[in-house]
Structures are given as C-alpha cells and as structure tokens.
Chains A and B, each alone.
Chain A
Amino acid sequence: MNIKDELSKISTNVVIEEKKANYKIVVDDLSKLIDIANSLKNLGFDHVVSVTGIDYPDKIEVVWHVSSYSVDNLKGINLALSVAVKKPEPIKQSDPQGNIYIKRPPVTVPSLVSVWPSGIFNEREAFEMFGIIFEGHPDLRYLMLPEDFYETWPMRKDFTYQRAKVFIE
C-alpha cells in the first residue's frame, strides 16, 4: 500500500515531506472535514495523537495528528489533518470599572471526537488555549486553566498577560 496514493485518493491537497516525517492533509472546506476523517479512519488511522491550533494573524489552523496502532505500515506515520478557520475581528469591550479590554471571539470547527474518541482531552486543551469551539464535542469544558483565564485564549500570539495582583492579608 502506497501511503501517498491512498492519501491522494482521500484528498487532493496532500503535503508529504518524508525527510521531516511530515505528512499533511490540508482540508479546504470545513464541511468535508468529518468525511475525510472518516475515510482516514477506514484507512487505518485509528487514534489521535495531538489536537492543536496554530495562531496566524488572520486565521487559526487546527491540526489533528493521527496515527495507527492496528495497521502495520501506517504505524510509522504521523499524519496531520489540518484545517484553517478565519478569525473573527476582536471586539472592544469595557468592564464595569471602565477599563477597555479586547475580547477575541472564538472560532468554530467541527469536533472529531465522534470519529476518534481519543481526541477528547486534546480537543478540550485546544479549546481553552486557542478558543477553538469544537462543535459536537460531548464535554467541552476548561481542562487545565483556572477561572481567571476565562476567554483569554492564552496560546494565541496576541495574548498579553497581566501581573498577578498581590494579596496581603
């Protein structure tokens, strides 16, 4: 089975750089994502290794890395399934004290938990770090961050942190 042929049957936009162990399928259309994921799963990619976002100035790229435990000649491949979503414009808001802050709305992509259940915690992490709402995720809650990071999306490049206020009793 030639992995390149098989992947190009699934999608037209396949990037393969053998030397860097970089196998990538770039999905142009969000609506095709679940179909492509299903056909990858039928091919033998049975688990998600990592789900993450990459923050660009205008878009957010969501990358699922999948691999295989069951099909022998796929065990050596880390396939990236990538989809890019345009970021909405940031909204300026003011809190009751009059401070103006910038609210960066989240983006929405379909969740692939229904295809690969192993992505459940990874998708939760990508959600809290990048503000990617995975539609159809059964349990989309914050995973690691505490409450004061609510809607700050700290892994985005424009995230600025404030020094913690010191409380002295």
Chain B
Amino acid sequence: MNEKVYNIDDLQNINVDGEKYIILQIGPSHPGSGHMRIKVWLDGDIIVKVDPDIGFVHRTSEWLSERREWIKAVPIVERIMLPDTVHANLAYVLTVEKLLGIEPPPRAQYLRSLVAEINRITSHLYGIGIFGIFLGSSTVYMWAFGDREPFIDLMEMLTGARITTSYIIPGGVRWDLPNGFKERAETVLQYMERRLKDYEDIWVKNPVVQARTINVGTLKKEDAIALGVVGPNLRASGVYYDTRKHQPYAAYSNIDFEVPTMKNGDSYDRLLIRVEEIKQSIRMIRQILKDIPEGKIVADQIYNQLNPVMKKNYEEKKRVMFPAFMIHMRPPAGEAAAKVEAGRGEIFFYIKSTGDKYPYRFRWVTPSFRNLPYFTHVAVGHRLADLPTIYGSIDYFPPEADR
C-alpha cells in the first residue's frame, strides 16, 4: 500500500508556502465557524486557500441506521437536519415507499407537502437569521428566530411536536388536520407577509448589507453546475432546477408554484432567493389548505394492518398509531433512490435492501455537504471578512453536512 496516496491530516501536503501566509484556524470553537474548522491561508487580507475540516459533529447516522429496524431510521435522520426535519423524514420515507411499493393516498400527499412547506419557511428563516448574525446584525437574527416560532407552533398543532416531528411514516402521515388549523395558518401567513416587508426595510434593502453582499462570493452558472451545488444556492446562480418540479413527490405535481431563479449568483442573490422562496411557500400553503382532498391519511396496506383499537383511535382522533408491521417491516430486496428538495437544497437517499429487517446499505447525502465547494472554490480571492458572508449566504449547517 502506497503511504503517499493519502494521509490523515497532511497539512504540509498543500502547495501553499506556509512562511508567506498567515494560517488562520477558524473554529471549531469560534463564533463564526459553527461546528467545523475552516483553515484559511491569508495573504494580507486576501484568502489564498480554504480547507474546510468537517466532521466535528459526525453522528454516524448511516452506521446507526444500518444496524436498526427500518422505522427507527426516521428519528435518526431527523436529528441530523434539525431545522429541516420534515424533509429528512420525507426523503427517507419516500425511499422506503419505493422499496415497499406503497403509494400514500392523496390527502396524505397534500399533508406532506403542507408540513414540508411550513418547514421550508422555518428553515429559510433560520438561514436568514444566521446570515444576519454573521454580518453583525443581531436584529435580523432575533427577528428571524422569533418569526420562526409561529410556524413551529403550526407544526406543533399539526404534528404534535415542534421540531422533531416524525410525522411522515411509510404509507401516509400520522395525524390529520386538526380543527381550526386553516384559520390559524391564515393568520400566521398574513403575519409573515407583513413581516417580510420589515425584513426588506431593515435587511434586504439596507445599504450596508448590499455593500457587503453584492458581487461577493459569486458562483457562475457553469461553475455551479460543475461543482454540483444544490438548492437555493444553485438557483441563485441561474440554474432552473428544483426537485419539486423535476422529480415531483408528495403533492407537488398538483400544486401551482414558481421556482425563482436569480442571475448573478452572488451572496445578495442567495439572500433574495430565500425571501422569494418564503413567498412561494406561503402561496403554496394557501393552495394546499384550499385544495386538500378528503380521504384517508394512510394507504390501505397500512390501514388494514391496524387492530380494532387502533382503527377506533383512527376514526375518533384522526391519529394513526403504529401497527406492528412498522417495526417488522422487511422491504423486498432491491435498491431505491429518492430526492427531496429540502430548505437548504436537495436530500438524496440511496437504500439497498436485502429483504432483511435492517437496511443493507443506507446512504444519504445532505444539501450542506454538497455545498462544501463554496468554501474551497468561491471564498478564494475574497477578503477574510467575506468568509462569514459566504458562509452565511449559503446557509451551511455543519451537523447536516457531517451527518
């Protein structure tokens, strides 16, 4: 075995003269790094090279999921993507459903889209807030985190939990729409529409924000495609790609929505596109609540597995309790892949089943992991003060990238 092929942390391996440059270790305990280390080579104030050292919050979700029953992977993947739990849950369940061959009923599809869009708004607000504190604006940070609350309350009303909802199960969802949800949702959406104007006044149109973000961290369309970045960042670079449009899942093929794209691909565009997507999500939630069809919220295959007590519970409380099938689930052998457009981008699941009670290979890729090239490719040539701008604008979330 050739020892020179790789090295654990071969810091001398990098073709940058260490004498000439300041090597700055930003993180892992640094207010501007998150749970990661960003190693920066500085020529004066200019970044020469960036080496993101991730893995500080690597939680071995793949390893754990391969050694557990299928349904137990739901809370594991949720806890990796904390601001974006519903999408992680949904992506995993979609993959398992492909293996099982179950198709959820239309009402469940709509409920999935509903909770996913609510979650997308919270995720974008989280991203805007973190971007705010990275640029030094504590106001936007507090506002965004405060305005997440109404949506989290909506999620709690619908699913029974604020963040880690575990709402989506193979074949459907666990709870039906509660009474009074539509009215509550309408007030929250109106509140958010009012607040978006405030955000524009103090944040989006702030001259300091524009000075800090315009033409900073520009990723051109071709480079964005070649580097394989995902989600709002990709669309900010002008690529028209959204998994909700191109690989429709849940109810997205029936919902009318636009995929906003920007032209320049700089940090300011990445900020704007999140605001636009919040507007689109508000529009989608209104549509879903208007169009949601009546019917069962789980597929018949699951419903037939319920015992009489559970069925009574289902009829009375509109709640699906777990049938024993869930824990003894053995999807037939084969492999399946699924993609979901989460708030930060595209989650990819690839699961190989051998017909066993555990998954044989459980592979998933999170959006933040695929946005890593922003550090290595985009930050180079900018000033040190631009690193937090780029970091905040791509909405990078280290626990999500480490999985």
Contacts and interface: CB of A to CB of B under 8 A. Distances in A.
B239 A144 contact: no
Interface residues of B, number: 47
Given A19-B101, A118-B370, A147 B350 contact: no
A143 B334 contact: no
Interface stretch (B112-120, B161-169, B223-231, B272-280): B223-231
* Main DSSP-derived SS at the B contact region: mixed
B6 A144 contact: no
Interface string A127-156: 101000101000011111111001000110
B228 A49 contact: yes
A38 interface: no
Nearest to B67: A157
B292 interface: no
B361 A54 contact: yes
A117 B227 contact: yes
B98 A21 contact: yes
Nearest to A15: B335
Interface stretch (B54-62, B210-218, B313-321): B54-62
Interface in B246-289: 246-247
A24 B99 CA distance: 16
B350 A80 contact: yes
B201 interface: no
Given A75-B246, A121-B369, A150-B8, A65 B348 contact: yes
Interface string B70-109: 0000000000000000000000000000110100000000
A63 B369 CA distance: 17
The 3 closest A-B pairs by CB, nearest first: A118-B228, A144-B55, A47-B228
Given A78-B348, A133-B6, 12 more contacts: A20-B334, A21-B247, A21-B336, A52-B361, A54-B360, A54-B361, A69-B224, A106-B1, A118-B373, A121-B370, A135-B5, A144-B58
9 contacts: A20-B335, A21-B338, A48-B228, A50-B365, A65-B337, A140-B5, A144-B54, A145-B55, A154-B63
